[in-house]
Amino acid sequence: MEIFGVPSALLGSQLLVGLINGSFYAILSLGLAIIFGLLNIINFTHGAQYMMGAFVAWIALNKLGINYWVALLLAPLAVGALGVLIERTMLRKLYKLDHLYGLLLTFGLALIFEGIFRDQYGISGQSYPVPELLQGGVNLGFMFLPIYRGWVVVAALTVCFATWFIIEKTKLGAYLRAGTENPQMVQALGINVPLLITFTYGFGVALAAFAGVLAAPIYQVSPLMGSNLIIVVFAVVVIGGMGSIMGSILTGIGLGLIEGLTRVFYPEASAVVVFVIMVIVLLVRPAGLFGKA
């Protein structure tokens, strides 16, 4: 069967790849958006924290025998705790300064973390096995769906929409939204904003690490895996609108799919299509598709 002259199996598999990439874009840009919303910090360490999530899972498996399912919980907690430490000891001192200082600090930290892992493990990737429960695939008739890839999409989107629900529909989310608008007033109303900021940064970082664990069996676990991805994720955040939660999720998935389709119909442009869209969005709607001008 062909669709627009393209075999359906090829189209389906590229759409699946796009959906998987989109899921990673969504979960990573969501973390960035949450952090930017409350802290006003562009977290350039996000890619390195994603990479560390994957490495924690890999080390846990190979050195400690801890399986994938435990790592899926453990790695976000461990990397999130490191995020809390970074916020408490470094980022906190920068809130009253220009945004540039936060950007420079997080960029420097990303280089340090990547350097440490390069020094220890080199740049050739480490493989992480697909967990037994998720091995194999399903023939959908028009394409073959590897179960693990389907799981990645479901898990990433579940986490994204759960995060959206927490932010939009719960009291904690109301604190976060109010704190994003006017942190001083939120403090005057009796809410511990410094603690809220620490928690938010830790949570955003944990999301990146969660994505890293999900990515470990698909991509090679490598010190550079984050820096390869993070530039596209920043473009996603800009297109969705800085600080917009739903914007990050929908834009991430949408751009992943567009990238996948471009790979089928015009492969030469697949590496730049996200950036072309970013330029167009910035020209037409500088606040982003879902951002408030």
Q: What is the contact surface with another protein in residues (CB under 8 A)?
A: 171, 174-175, 177-178, 180-182, 184-194
Least Å distance, CB 48 to another protein, is: 31
Least Å distance, CB 196 to another protein, is: 9
DSSP state of 7: E
Alpha-carbon gap, residue 287 to 293, rounded angstroms: 5
CB-nearer residue toward another protein: 29 or 180: 180
Question: What does the block give as tokens for 79?
Answer: 């990397």
Least Å distance, CB 31 to another protein, is: 19
CB-nearer residue toward another protein: 63 or 96: 96
Least Å distance, CB 180 to another protein, is: 8
Least Å distance, CB 174 to another protein, is: 5
**Chain centroid to CA 125: how far?**
20
CB-nearer residue toward another protein: 191 or 258: 191
Nearest to 270 by CA among 18, 10, 62, 67: 18
DSSP lists the bridge partners of residue 7 as 2
**Chain centroid to CA 17: how far?**
16
Alpha-carbon gap, residue 50 to 188, rounded angstroms: 35
CB-nearer residue toward another protein: 24 or 290: 290
CB-nearer residue toward another protein: 30 or 51: 30
Residue 144, classed as helix, strand or coil, is: strand
φ, ψ of residue 182 in degrees (nearest 5): -150, 80
CB-nearer residue toward another protein: 33 or 205: 33
Contact yes or no for 37/102 (Cβ under 8 A):
no
Least Å distance, CB 246 to another protein, is: 12
Q: Which residues contact 133 (CB under 8 A, 6 or more apart)?
A: none
